[in-house]
């Protein structure tokens, strides 16, 4: 059995002009870790740095010289660092933003222990030319489909505003249990006390397996909105272990964002998952 090593450590810098990697290597908890292992942990997002009253930020450069009274944080979890990122598909590169087809199981956002398996980190390390990536919206880890990333703070503000003002068209597909009605459904059940609106349309039904394929258009974007709405209507998503009755033999969550559309400076920007890759019965 592989031993999982997990610890957190913070050091306050009391000697200026010393490299970050030297401070990490001097931590008692790191005595069994090589410098190569520590550098790899830095690249994977396990090390954070703060100065003065600023919020901690990830620090990836081992040679960074630290100032007096800086703080260095290490969040080490060998099991997290050993994880291998899944590979998303690039749908479109518009320079200031990109559109990705995220696979089920991939994270949009990391934790304090690492971010190397996230979509945004994949984009930062794989895109040419290289550029920073900013999260605009998220899909659950188990949900697959389209995700937008911005590549400048200005683009991030613009795209975030589009989502906040409900100017982005979002369409999902889901495989659900039961026979969804042929007539469209407009579900307005509040989520966490807030307005939530989903427009649901049946695309197909498998009477033998008692499954339906539905399309869901969102007018709002509450957390787990589609999963909650479909479950409340008696049609839980196949593989939903939180709001449905998924068993151990069921597949992963059968929910996918298949379309995103918005106005880009007068141009109709629309992106969709190729039909052959969209959920089917």
Question: What positions carry a catalytic annotation?
Answer: 140
CA distance 165 to 163: 5
DSSP 240-272: -TTTS---TTS-S--EEEEEEEEEETTEEEEEE
Through-space distance between the first and last CA atoms of the chain, rounded to whole angstroms:
40
Q: Which of 262, 212, 200 is nearest to 237 (CA)?
A: 212
Strand partners, 65: 19
Q: Beta 255-264 vs 144-150: how paired, if at all? A: parallel
Sign of CA dihedral 248, 273, 109, 262: negative
* Other CB atoms within 10 A of residue 40 CB: 15
């Amino acid at each position: 059995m592989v031993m999982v090593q997990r610890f957190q450590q913070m050091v306050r810098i009391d000697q200026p002009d010393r490299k970050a990697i030297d401070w990490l290597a001097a931590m008692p908890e790191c005595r069994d870790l090589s410098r190569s292992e520590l550098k790899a942990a830095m690249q994977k997002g396990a090390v954070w740095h703060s100065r003065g009253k600023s919020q901690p930020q990830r620090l990836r450069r081992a040679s960074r010289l630290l100032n007096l009274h800086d703080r260095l944080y290490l969040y080490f979890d060998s099991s997290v660092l050993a994880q291998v990122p899944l590979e998303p598909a690039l749908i479109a590169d518009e320079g200031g933003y990109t559109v990705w087809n995220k696979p089920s199981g991939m994270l949009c956002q990391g934790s304090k222990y690492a971010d190397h398996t996230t979509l945004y980190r994949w984009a930062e390390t794989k895109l040419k030319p290289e550029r920073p990536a900013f999260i605009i919206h998220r899909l659950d880890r188990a949900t697959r489909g389209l995700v937008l990333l911005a590549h400048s703070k200005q683009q991030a503000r613009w795209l975030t505003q589009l989502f906040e003002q409900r100017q982005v068209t979002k369409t999902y597909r889901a495989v659900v249990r039961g026979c969804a009605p042929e007539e469209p459904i407009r579900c307005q059940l509040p989520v966490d006390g807030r307005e939530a609106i989903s427009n649901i349309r049946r695309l197909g039904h498998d009477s033998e397996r008692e499954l339906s394929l539905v399309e869901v258009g969102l007018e709002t974007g509450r957390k787990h909105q589609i999963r909650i709405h479909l479950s409340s209507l008696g049609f839980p998503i196949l593989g939903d272990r939180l709001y449905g009755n998924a068993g151990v033999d069921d597949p992963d969550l059968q929910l996918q964002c298949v379309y995103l559309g918005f106005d880009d400076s007068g141009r109709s920007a629309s992106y969709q998952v190729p039909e052959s890759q969209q959920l089917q019965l």
